[in-house]
């Protein structure tokens, strides 16, 4: 059957695991609970156990495993070092490939979960076929993952792609989670869209579908689809901020494609009606033709990308457990 | 003597050439005029002639040449293709390593001149010893060159590092050279500093050294050094724009160091008094500790970086004439 690879996505509640063939086809996926007791000391042993169990079940020998890729919620340097721990797991800083390598003697590569998900989208999702991509995750915050020539751009301290914290608004009075003011994610995340909506609704009494019930990114874009004028104004503000921010990103890395994912992206292609014209307006001419696509792998982007660390050469070649 | 390399920096008036030993020490440098007649058809033959002449003079055989690196004033893709020509040379689009390879049978790599100069500063200049760098050139415009793991970040259309065109000011009424409004280079270039100065001087009649004679980036920073209050205000505006812009760049690529070059950088370390505090104010916490240094190679950065394409592995491995 050729060599296989495992892609592991460690989250705060569950660990997602995937078994892939050598071409990156997902053969099987499953989950185990994340046990965060005692500084998360059981998480990696459980992962190893689960992988070894699957190998026994499928009669896969160690030499048939090309490697294990693992994405974790924290800054990971190019060597696979978890630089400053992972608060959601209770982990302190340590070298992930080395630690997991104590249980299984195959190649192991680790990276940040958002970057790994970006690699997944580039390899098998919305960015497939492209050489350079910026993945934009519009969730509670605005995350980013940058892939250049099929490799994750990690940055000096693991913070490359933190595009949600580009300063975009001088007039902001409220603090962002990062303690700065006026960060992109204060306007373009799910939470940011709700803020923009509440601000707009408080401005006057113009009738709007949004005046009934709780406002969310979903209700805003549902109202946009229904032709609601106030919702459209909110979407325009959102598009102005995000388009302008992504134009700045394009001046720096000039990607072939932006792939938009995260909860907000469930609104679908209509997002592009608001983001793309503003992007093209603010972009440097040579960067203006970047493509836009929706993420397609959903919650599986992490396991795909983790397997991609091994199979698509998406991590720096320095890191390995052996 | 080991293998040598040639570094070539093609400018609109002169072509700079350098002969380097295998460790990147500059053995000799010289210049030839750039003959732009007939679409610049003589430029590459002249370069080849000059290199072959130097090889005869020094009794260097083709097999003793590790390669030739060449920087040109235009967008060059990772394959060495001059994507949309070089207006300053009269060149249309063509594959540079292939064209120069018609005259000399050694490895040839080409890249954009600003990116090549950045590579030079990273390899042998202000960024030496670092792994990732953003070179910022404050001249007539604001240019940028991004080096990641010792390699130039080119971008999908050769426009990565065009940081001078990050949108930074919503209130601007004048057009930038790129036809957008509010680009970083409208405030942080030599020309931009003069604009800021003229605007400030027109505001009121506060006495200032800058009211005598022509205002330039140099006279502004000379006046800052002399403690001139108005000049200091101008420097603060400049620092606010550039610090904010570089903080956005740091969110994207999270470099280890920013190396500041170009004419404005002749003002020296005092620039950092105005740029760095604003950078740290706007930067995402994990990117806040980026270093700042002045460029050190001056006009030789181009030939160093061109040689670095060969000797430091600074270009993508795809491109070669053979």
Contact across the interface for A252 and B255, Cβ inside 8 Å = no
What is the count of structural domains for chain A? 2
* Residue A183: inside a domain: yes
A78 lies in a domain? yes
Query: What is the distance between the alpha carbons of residues A120 and A124, in angstroms, rounded to a whole number?
Result: 6
- Does residue A154 lie within any of the structural domains? yes
Which residues of B fall within a CB distance of 8 Å from A155?
132, 253-255, 287
Shared domain for B307 and B285, answered yes or no, is no
B225 found inside a domain: yes
Does any domain span residue A237? yes
CB-nearest to A286 from B149, B153, B157 is B157
CATH of residue B184's domain is: 3.30.420.40
Residues B94, B148: one domain? no
In whole angstroms, give the CA distance from residue A60 to residue A52.
Answer: 9
3-state DSSP assignment of residue A297: coil
Report the first-to-last Cα separation within chain B, whole angstroms.
Answer: 24
- Amino acid B317: pLDDT: 46
Residue B163, token pair as written in the block = 């940081």
Residue B320 domain flag: no
A134 within domain boundaries = yes
B76 by DSSP, 3-state: which?
strand
Verify that B175 and B98 share a domain, yes or no.
no
Looking at the fold, whether A48 and A91 belong to one and the same domain comes out as: yes
pLDDT over 60 (residue A213): yes
Same domain, B243 and B101: no
pLDDT at A320 over 80: no
**Residue A321 counted as domain residue:** no
Q: What is the pLDDT of residues A154-211, one digit of tens each?
A: 999 888 999 999 999 999 999 998 899 999 999 999 999 999 999 999 999 999 999 9
A264 and A160 belong to one structural domain? yes
In this predicted structure, the answer to whether residue B3 has a pLDDT above a threshold of 90 is yes
Chain B positions in Cβ-Cβ contact with residue A243 (cut-off 8 Å): none
What is the pLDDT at residue B314?
Answer: 67
Q: Above 70 in pLDDT, residue B1? A: no
A279 and A135 part of one domain: yes
- The pLDDT > 70 percentage for chain B reads 97
Mean pLDDT score across all residues of chain B: 94
Q: Do B288 and B307 lie in a common domain?
A: no
Residue A69: Cβ-neighbour burial (10 angstroms; 0-12, 13-18, 19+): buried
Contact yes or no for B75 and A286 at CB 8 A: yes
Task: Kindly report the average pLDDT of chain A as a whole number.
Answer: 94
Q: Encode pLDDT of A127-169 as tens digits.
A: 999 999 999 999 989 999 999 988 999 999 888 999 999 999 9
CA angle B284, A286, A268 (to 5 degrees): 65
Query: Is the pLDDT reported for residue A321 higher than 60?
Result: no
Its domain, for residue B76, covers 4-113+302-311
Instruction: Verify that A192 and A175 share a domain, yes or no.
Output: yes
Q: Are residues B152 and B97 in the same domain?
A: no
Q: Kindly state whether residues A20 and A155 are assigned to the same domain.
A: no
> Is it the case that residue A24 has pLDDT exceeding 70?
yes
Percent of chain A with pLDDT over 90: 88
Taking only the tens place, the pLDDT of each residue in A269-306 is 999 999 999 999 999 999 999 999 999 999 999 999 99
A118 in contact with B, Cβ within 8 Å? no
Whether residue A162 is found in the same domain as residue A201: yes
For chain A, state the CA radius of gyration: 21
DSSP for B202-265?
HH-----GGGSS---HHHHHHHHHTT-HHHHHHHHHHHHHHHHHHHHHHHHH--SEEEEESGGG
As a whole number, mean pLDDT of residues B213-240 equals: 98
> Beta-strand (E) ranges in A119-275?
132-138, 142-148, 151-152, 257-261
């Amino acid at each position: 059957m050729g060599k296989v690879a495992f892609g592991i996505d460690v989250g705060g509640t569950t660990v997602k695991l995937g078994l892939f063939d050598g071409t990156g086809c997902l053969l099987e996926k499953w989950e185990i609970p994340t046990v965060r007791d005692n500084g998360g000391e059981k998480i990696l042993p459980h992962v190893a156990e689960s992988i070894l169990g699957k190998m026994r079940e499928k009669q896969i020998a160690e030499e048939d495993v090309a490697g294990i890729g693992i994405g974790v919620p924290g800054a990971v340097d190019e060597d696979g070092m978890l630089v400053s721990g992972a608060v959601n797991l209770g982990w302190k800083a340590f070298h992930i490939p080395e630690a997991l390598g104590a249980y299984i003697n195959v190649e192991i590569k680790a990276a940040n979960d958002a970057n790994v998900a970006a690699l997944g989208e580039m390899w098998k999702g919305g960015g497939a076929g492209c050489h350079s991509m910026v993945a934009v995750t519009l969730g509670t915050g605005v995350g980013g993952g940058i892939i250049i020539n099929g490799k994750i751009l990690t940055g000096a301290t693991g913070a490359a792609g933190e595009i949600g914290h580009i300063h975009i608004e001088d007039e902001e009075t409220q603090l962002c989670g990062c303690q700065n003011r006026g960060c992109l994610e204060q306007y373009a995340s799910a939470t940011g869209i709700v803020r923009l909506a509440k601000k707009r609704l408080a401005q006057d009494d113009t009738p709007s579908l949004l005046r009934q019930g709780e406002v969310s990114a979903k209700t805003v874009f549902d109202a946009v689809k229904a032709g609601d004028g106030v919702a459209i104004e909110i979407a325009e503000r959102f598009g102005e901020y995000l388009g302008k921010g992504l134009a700045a990103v394009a001046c720096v890395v000039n990607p072939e494609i932006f792939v938009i994912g995260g909860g907000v992206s469930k609104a679908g292609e209509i997002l592009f009606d608001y983001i793309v014209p503003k992007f093209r307006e603010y972009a440097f001419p040579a960067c203006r033709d970047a493509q836009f696509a929706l993420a397609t792998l959903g919650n599986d982007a992490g396991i795909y990308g983790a397997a991609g660390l091994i199979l698509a050469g998406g991590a720096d070649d320095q890191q390995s457990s052996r």
